A and B are shown apart, each in its own frame.
Chain A
Amino acid sequence: MRVALFLTCVNDTLYPDTGRAVVRLLTRLGVDVDFPMAQTCCGQAHYNTGYRHEAEPLARHFAEVFRDYEAIVTPSGSCGAMVRELYPRMGERARAEGRGDTLAATLAPVVPKTYELTEFLVDVLGVTDVGAYYPHKVTYHPTCHGLRGLGLGERPLRLLRAVQGLELAELPGAEECCGFGGTFALKNSDVSAAMGADKVRNAESTGAGVLCAADNSCLMHIGGTMTRLRTGMRPVHIAEILASTEEEPAV
């Protein structure tokens, strides 16, 4: 199977460790993973801030770069939801604006074969025990676009429960948004910060040292709040936990 890693612009630039973890994990599971160098950004920030027309060239670029792969795997619930939920909608809107079917037809091929990492592991590879070892107490925050957009459900928790040495602590108010929301974090920074502080307090109450999620954008906000509030907790992407083994532990 020709599998492409769509890392996302945020991870590529700020979180290369997450990318390395995905490569390590998928390689260990026998997947031949490629990183198409022409990839950039899915256009989510543009689209969600109201710049749909600026997002269209990015979506077209995405579709061209990833068109020939059999599966596209991304370690981001929100970027995965952008492709799966919003690319079809962009095509529909272009049609409604009298611009024909070209955009819809260009984007359609990549939509069904784009998977968020935990979906790819559980649904496509059919594994829940990925052979990981991570001797820490961890609490899991289901990010909104993964939870309500993609419907990841129990998949991340099933993967985490199978990790050796990992003690999973239930997060109170887990399904409440952390307050990131892309440009929302800047445009409504007071409300965003209040939501972030509440999320961090709930995480602290579990006694876990690590808060894990499947999206580094949310973790950037939660982690930035954690260090500012001097909690001693740290944010870790689920890929880094699943990639960790006894021989090669995560840092």
Chain B
Amino acid sequence: MSGTFVGMPAFPEAARDAVRDTTLRGNLRHATHTIRAKRAKAVAEVTDWAELREAGKRIKDHTLRHLDRYLEQLEESVTAAGGTVHWAADAGEANRIVARLVKETGESEVVKVKSMATQEIGLNEALEAEGIRAYETDLAELIVQLGEDRPSHILVPAIHRNRGEIREIFAREMGEWGRPAPEGLTDTPAELAEAARLHLREKFLRAKVGISGANFMVADTGTLVVVESEGNGRMCLTLPETLISVVGIEKIVPTWRDLEVFLQTLPRSSTAERMNPYTSTWTGTTQEDGPRTFHLVLLDNGRTDTLADEVGRQALRCIRCSACLNVCPVYERAGGHAYGSVYPGPIGAILSPQLRGTGSAVDASLPYASSLCGACYEVCPVAIDIPEVLVHLRERVVEGGPVTRAGNKVVLQPAKGHAAERAAMRAARWAFTRPGALRAGQRLASRTRRLHPRTLPGPGRAWSGTRDLPPVPAEPFRDWWKRTQGGKGGAA
């Protein structure tokens, strides 16, 4: 994934700063609550939402089960329609392929459609190292790029910025990248949008190479689909002479008709629109219309490894709608950057540790970045049981065990740093399988209750730093029951 996230601290440390940043908390609270309410309304309008959700889940599961077959079918269809298909096992290979293809055109700049796959592989940085400049054209991605920032949301990567901050970034940075922002730019949405429009327009008209991802790839026709709100994506998909699309292999649907389901569930889940304003589809190349040359780079980068895990593979159903981010109480307070990945929020917490492995501090901490409240599963339009996968990945962290990495079966060792917790869990299991031991412990706690401190030392401060401890009662329930036979005999 993007080099800019390398060396991130574990989630709790990164989240601590975000929790204390009142501006950020305010921006996120306002933005997520607004879209959350709109989504709920847009979904409630659809009488067969539950059926659509189930259909989306089944189409994705079917496709993933037969992914080998559908990928070959897609390659044949795209090739027959005049495109060229390339296969990339990982980020490095994908970046090398794209850089080579751009160089072969003789160009040194490209315009980009908003794309998670190219963010995931750090394409912009890789192209920069090869002397090729990539211009983001999605408004929010433009804000992130101009601000030398990192994305913090899948759909709205600049969600952590407010209008005042965006005005300042435009006024300061646009001139460095092309047409400067108009004099006296204010922070009204119309003026900011106009500044971006003028800045981007000259790039669209000049560009010879466009780079995109895709929301869907239709195996039987070889058609790629991009859905968007701004129309800037369509500019990039139609004006350049060469189009290069980098797409994760899980984005396949078998037939054109399957789009019927997702073109209903995706816009309502993501932007809370009944239908997204721009749906662009293209099948290979067409004479005298649009790009003359089309390349499709199919990206694995940890996806077949994820597919090998029978609990974790459901994460590959994701259609990147962001509904889970917008309802997540942890995301709302920790912000997107704390997840150390272009995939933040609940879906990121199960995608990143699978695509990248659990080796780094941040990836090993992500499965714990959830209270397991289940709001994400409830809104997911393809029914990914995110809490189930989180718990599964916690098990992988603390117990280790067999996983697939780069196509090879390996056995992970239990992660370091969980020794005390593991010992406590074992001790608790020992006591809880012996009612006598539990009872002895309860009695000890009750007898010494006046000696218990109000705040705890060491790791206990994680609780008592912000919350009082409950008082220990004079006797546990079981002693009362034994003494009174449930209130029937003796003094209650």
User: What CA separation (Å) do A221 and B482 show in the bound complex?
Assistant: 29
Q: Is B114 an interface residue (CB 8 A)?
A: no
Q: Are A177 and B470 closer than 8 Å at their CB atoms? A: no
- Cβ of A192: which chain B residues have Cβ within 8 Å of it? 371
Q: Are A184 and B372 closer than 8 Å at their CB atoms? A: yes
Q: Is A136 an interface residue (CB 8 A)?
A: no
User: What CA separation (Å) do A33 and B438 show in the bound complex?
Assistant: 22
Q: Are B12 and A190 closer than 8 Å at their CB atoms? A: yes
Given contacts A20-B477, A35-B481, contact A9 B432 (CB under 8 A): yes
User: What CA separation (Å) do A185 and B143 show in the bound complex?
Assistant: 35
Q: Is B72 an interface residue (CB 8 A)?
A: no
User: What CA separation (Å) do A20 and B475 show in the bound complex?
Assistant: 12
Q: Are B16 and A24 closer than 8 Å at their CB atoms? A: no
Q: Is B388 an interface residue (CB 8 A)?
A: yes
Q: Are B391 and A13 closer than 8 Å at their CB atoms? A: no
- Cβ of B426: which chain A residues have Cβ within 8 Å of it? 54
Most central of A47, A93, A187 by chain B CB within 10 Å: A187
Which of B388-419 touch A at CB < 8 Å? 388, 391, 393-399
Find A51's partner among B399, B433, B466, B467 (CB 8 Å cutoff).
B399
Most central of B330, B399, B466 by chain A CB within 10 Å: B466
The stretch of A101-109, A124-132, A207-215, A223-231 in contact with B is A223-231
Q: Is A84 an interface residue (CB 8 A)?
A: no
Label chain A's interface by main secondary structure. Answer: helix
- Cβ of B391: which chain A residues have Cβ within 8 Å of it? 47-48, 50, 52
Q: Is A29 an interface residue (CB 8 A)?
A: no
User: What CA separation (Å) do A250 and B24 show in the bound complex?
Assistant: 43
The minimal Cβ–Cβ distance linking B1 to chain A, given in whole angstroms, is: 22
How many residues on the A side are at the interface (Cβ–Cβ under 8 A)? 73
Q: Are B481 and A144 closer than 8 Å at their CB atoms? A: no
Q: Are A16 and B475 closer than 8 Å at their CB atoms? A: yes
Specify the chain A residue showing the minimal Cβ separation from B11.
Answer: A188
User: What CA separation (Å) do A182 and B391 show in the bound complex?
Assistant: 12
User: What CA separation (Å) do A179 and B371 show in the bound complex?
Assistant: 6
How many residues on the B side are at the interface (Cβ–Cβ under 8 A)? 67
Q: Is A96 an interface residue (CB 8 A)?
A: yes
Q: Are B462 and A177 closer than 8 Å at their CB atoms? A: no
- Cβ of B372: which chain A residues have Cβ within 8 Å of it? 48, 144, 181-182, 184
Q: Are B15 and A188 closer than 8 Å at their CB atoms? A: yes
Q: Are A180 and B477 closer than 8 Å at their CB atoms? A: no
Find A228's partner among B311, B466, B492 (CB 8 Å cutoff).
B466
Which of A167-208 touch B at CB < 8 Å? 175-177, 179-197
Give me the interface of A with B, judged by CB distance under 8 Å: 7, 9, 11-17, 19-20, 23-24, 27, 33-35, 37-41, 43, 45-55, 57-58, 61, 89, 93, 96, 144-145, 148-149, 175-177, 179-197, 220-221, 223-225, 227-228
Task: Offer 28 A-B interface pairs, CB within 8 angstroms, sorted by A.
Answer: A19-B477, A23-B481, A23-B486, A40-B438, A46-B425, A47-B391, A48-B372, A48-B391, A49-B425, A54-B425, A58-B433, A93-B311, A148-B375, A179-B329, A181-B371, A182-B371, A184-B371, A184-B372, A188-B368, A188-B369, A190-B16, A191-B334, A197-B466, A220-B470, A225-B466, A227-B468, A228-B466, A228-B468
